[in-house]
Structure 1
């Protein structure tokens, strides 16, 4: 990437960070000549993460279905980072609690999350190899804040630039990966206030969440930042995003895993 492109990415990241500070709606278009430039989006994301501060404790994978990729004009998923202080776990067996007012427009994505146990090699890996580096598996909610974006102006590059909208990760009780086995073909059920609102299959995530993990590992290795022990990976939404409101209670259950529960203040 040229010096000019790096400078453009720094400026664009500063504009995104300022919009976050002001809690403004996301209406930014890519700089002139950068529309559809996914590499520029990732360069901006790296600059934004530096501005936001905090170490990277996990990763999210987005656009894992053909429909979402087609909408954004790409043929592969996208990546965002989960920053330190943005992982939530339930205390004393109850639901995790999040304040909706802390976000511009908060949504939840219902996923399977995986914890990395061993360092990944600096190369491509197969799905089976990727799972061999995982020690814990759980149902999870990825928190996303789309800042009330205008979806008619949405592109994969702008979504990547804004860290793929990741606002955190809510983890349910985890199980040892060796006890869980294969991740494909598991039914997922999303409920709000005790009523089922959607269902899906883990096979909707690139055919198998293990495929998503292997894809992510390869992409990060090419960036020179392979997956590290202790990091969590949110593998992709099993059902479409749902936007939330204060007072609601959400629950997502994946076959063979304990449910993840979230209460909204």
Structure 2
């Protein structure tokens, strides 16, 4: 069984793999496996590519996984959620993220200001979840990439057009059942979330892909991931608004 077959089976059957079992040892191979698994999701599970997520956008998370740049993964319709059932996941975490809802095709030549102009901006929450046992922080960067950058679930609130300045170093506050559990800033996302999206456009371009209108981009976390628990989460972001997620 190939590495892609193993990951797809773990995804469908919800039976996590042992770390090291798929034997991937390079980023090139990892992205190839990710693409193969995505094709299986589309062809065999009737899923639709809806966008991308950017991971490892802070020095702290890059250090954890011994890497010096971000990673990306594909998001399908199954990853876009309104609420969450805890039992649907393996070892889920939670992160504060800003979502870019692409209104015009994004080009390799677009500036960060162009990117923001071409997107609606929404407050978001992401549930990273790996198809491996004890994946955080023990999976290799290659295993993370092969597993679509541990895409789990993404939800976002009301969107609107914004500006570079309005997204610059803004604060996010995460609460669980009304109690503050985490705070973070957009500067953790490569200095500015638009920089992460620009990085993504360039990386996809190198892989022969573009970001088309209609896609969603989860641009990178404000905070180190927290353990997902059952309850009512809310994230409030300066200049953007708030988003909620109920986990049952």
Distance 1:152 1:207, change over 3 A: closer
Distance 1:152 1:66, change over 3 A: closer
Distance 1:152 1:61, change over 3 A: closer
**1:35-65 deviation per Cα after TM superposition (whole angstroms, max 9, x unaligned):** 2x11111000000111122221111000011
Q: Secondary structure at the match of 1:140?
A: strand
Tell me what 1:110 maps to.
96
Mapped partners of 1:217, 1:72: distance in 2: 22
Distance 1:226 1:30, change over 3 A: farther
Mapped partners of 1:47, 1:38: distance in 2: 14
Question: In the alignment, does 2:60 pair up with 1:67?
Answer: yes
- The CA deviation at 1:70 is 1.8
Answer yes or no: is the 8 Å Cα contact 1:124–1:217 preserved in 2.
Answer: no
- The CA deviation at 1:151 is 4.2
Aligned length: 243
- The CA deviation at 1:204 is 0.9
Answer yes or no: is the 8 Å Cα contact 2:175–2:234 preserved in 1.
Answer: yes
- The CA deviation at 1:21 is 2.9
Tell me what 1:186 maps to.
170
Question: In the alignment, does 2:242 pair up with 1:263?
Answer: no
Mapped partners of 1:105, 1:217: distance in 2: 29
**1:70-113 deviation per Cα after TM superposition (whole angstroms, max 9, x unaligned):** 2212211000111023323xxxxxxx421111112222211111
Which has the greater radius of gyration? 1
- The CA deviation at 1:129 is 2.6
Deviates more, 1:235-244 or 1:157-166: 235-244
Unaligned runs of 5+ in 1: 1-9, 89-95
Mapped partners of 2:113, 2:136: distance in 1: 36
RMSD: 1.9
Q: Secondary structure at the match of 2:217?
A: strand
Deviates more, 1:99-108 or 1:75-84: 99-108
Tell me what 2:71 maps to.
78
Answer yes or no: is the 8 Å Cα contact 1:125–1:217 preserved in 2.
Answer: no
Distance 1:124 1:219, change over 3 A: farther
**1:183-218 deviation per Cα after TM superposition (whole angstroms, max 9, x unaligned):** 111011011110001111101110000111111111
Answer yes or no: is the 8 Å Cα contact 1:38–1:157 preserved in 2.
Answer: yes
Question: In the alignment, does 2:157 pair up with 1:168?
Answer: no
TM-score (norm 2): 0.91
Tell me what 2:37 maps to.
48
Mapped partners of 1:104, 1:112: distance in 2: 24
Deviates more, 1:251-260 or 1:66-75: 66-75
Mapped partners of 1:249, 1:165: distance in 2: 23
Mapped partners of 2:223, 2:124: distance in 1: 12
Unaligned runs of 5+ in 2: none
Distance 1:181 1:66, change over 3 A: closer
